[in-house]
Amino acid sequence: MSKLKIGMISFAHGHAHSYLHALLSLPHEVEVAGIADESFERVAETVRKHGLAYYEDYRRLLAADIDAVVICSENVRHAEHTIAAAEAGKHVLCEKPLGVSVPEMERMIETCRARGVQLMTAFPCRFIPAVAAAKAAVDRGDIGEIVAIKGTNRGTMPGGWFVDPALSGGGALLDHTVHVMDLMNWLTGSRVRDVYAHAATLFHEGLAVDDAGMIHVQYENGTVGVLDTSWSRNGAFPTWGDVTLEIIGTRGVISVDSFAQKNEWYDVRKGKGVWDYWGDSMDLAMIEAFADAIRRGEPVPVTGEDGLRSAEVALAGYESSKRGQTVELAR
């Protein structure tokens, strides 16, 4: 089987560096065909270090001999880049959130379907060993029927374009709802019916977006969920944040600490504790799953629809917070 040629569109999102590292870790399966970024300064060192082709205009990359692209642009550009890639016949792995409105995400999904290419949403948390084990336990019926889920995704404030609503489409409620909401959707196997949320700016004075939120959901199958989503970790915290789940069933409970596979060490030069991970890389597992699906002609494990189902909850959360009441999702 020949190598899959994959290009990257934009390094605006920091996850691009980890995804590139994962792509380069699969030399027998994948060839990194180039990087497109309107800012050469942003990718200059990466391009030189790895000897990669550089394109200032992403359309030139899409015109090249490639099979797929990984998109890590600003949130508001995901739709533009995904639709252009689909129209060029390229498969897509798009950074989360999939989009900043339901209509544009529906267009992304429909364009990819019409052009016969696959669209995968970048949800690496599905590939965390503890999360995968929890999903297997739920599917086996180890804890009976799920009645409730409590989750957290509390991180550090990313700054840059993330705090510019014209580029991000929202703050912490959007940025940190989508990962864990996708896990909750995946575990329950149901769709969210209604949303009640609160969003505010509590930790960083002067931000133009929210940095804290609580989002409550009720699923069509009766399961209830609550998610603490924030940029509440300060610079002294050992890592960017957390992803935790408490899954309550009729016969038991599963607790998930996604980043527990780590050693703790203390370095006076850094001035804070450091977490040194020894567990499997969720980003590598996700990239490998995407590449394998494309090479084998099989469905990607995390779809565009999955991205839509999590992002629509965050967007409804903003509407709920503004109104001060529950918002029912459209069907």
Q: What's the CA angle centered on 213, arms 150 and 126, to 5 degrees?
A: 45
DSSP-assigned letters across all residues of 52-115: --EESSHHHHHTSS-SEEEE---GGGHHHHHHHHHHTT-EEEEESSS-SSHHHHHHHHHHHHHH
What average pLDDT score do residues 12-39 get?
96
Are residues 64 and 198 part of one domain?
A: no
Does one domain contain both 258 and 117?
Answer: no
Same domain, residue pair 108 and 138: no
CA distance 151 to 72: 25
What pLDDT is recorded for position 1? 63
- Does residue 136 sit in the same domain as residue 97? no
Q: What is the CA radius of gyration of the chain?
A: 20
218 and 271 together in one domain: yes
Confidence of residue 271 (pLDDT cuts 50, 70, 90): confident
Compute the distance between CA of residue 55 and CA of residue 58 in angstroms, rounded to an integer.
6
Confidence of residue 238 (pLDDT cuts 50, 70, 90): confident
pLDDT number for residue 265:
84
Residues 175 and 324 in one domain: yes
Q: Are residues 41 and 29 in the same domain?
A: yes
Percent above pLDDT 90 for the chain: 89
Using the structure block, give the residue that is written with the tokens 């006076």. 268
Report the Cα–Cα distance between both ends of the chain, in Å, rounded: 42
Domain limits at 62? 4-123+283-302
> Can you give the pLDDT at residue 2?
79
Same domain, 206 and 318: yes
Mean residue pLDDT of the chain comes to 96
CATH code (residue 117)? 3.40.50.720
Quick one: tokens of 217?
């959901």
CATH code for the domain of 155: 3.30.360.10
* Mean pLDDT, residues 38-45 taken together: 97
Per-residue pLDDT of 139-193, as tens digits, reads 999 999 999 999 999 999 999 999 999 999 999 999 999 999 999 999 999 999 9
Residue 229 confidence (pLDDT) above 80: yes
Q: Give one DSSP letter per residue of 261-307, joined into a string.
A: SEEEEEETTTTEEEEEE-S--HHHHHHHHHHHHHHHT---SSBHHHH
Number of H helices, E strands in the chain: 11, 15
Cα–Cα dist 217/211, whole Å: 20
pLDDT for res 268: 82
pLDDT of residue 70: 98
Question: Does 320 lie in the same domain as 291?
Answer: no
Let me know: does 53 contact 312? Beta carbons within 8 Å. Answer: no
Angle between helices 102-115 and 304-323 (to 10 degrees): 170
What pLDDT is attached to residue 9?
Answer: 98
Q: Is 253 found in the same domain as 130?
A: yes
User: What confidence tens digit (pLDDT) does each residue in 48-75 have?
Assistant: 999 999 999 999 999 999 999 999 999 9
Query: What phi and psi, each to the nearest 5 degrees, are found at residue 80?
Result: -55, -50
Are 21 and 99 contained in the same domain?
yes
Give the count of domains, the chain.
2
C-alpha neighbours within 13 Å on the C-beta side of residue 28: 1
pLDDT, tens digit, for every residue of 199-211? 999 999 999 999 9
- 76 shares its domain with 212: no
pLDDT at 138 over 70: yes
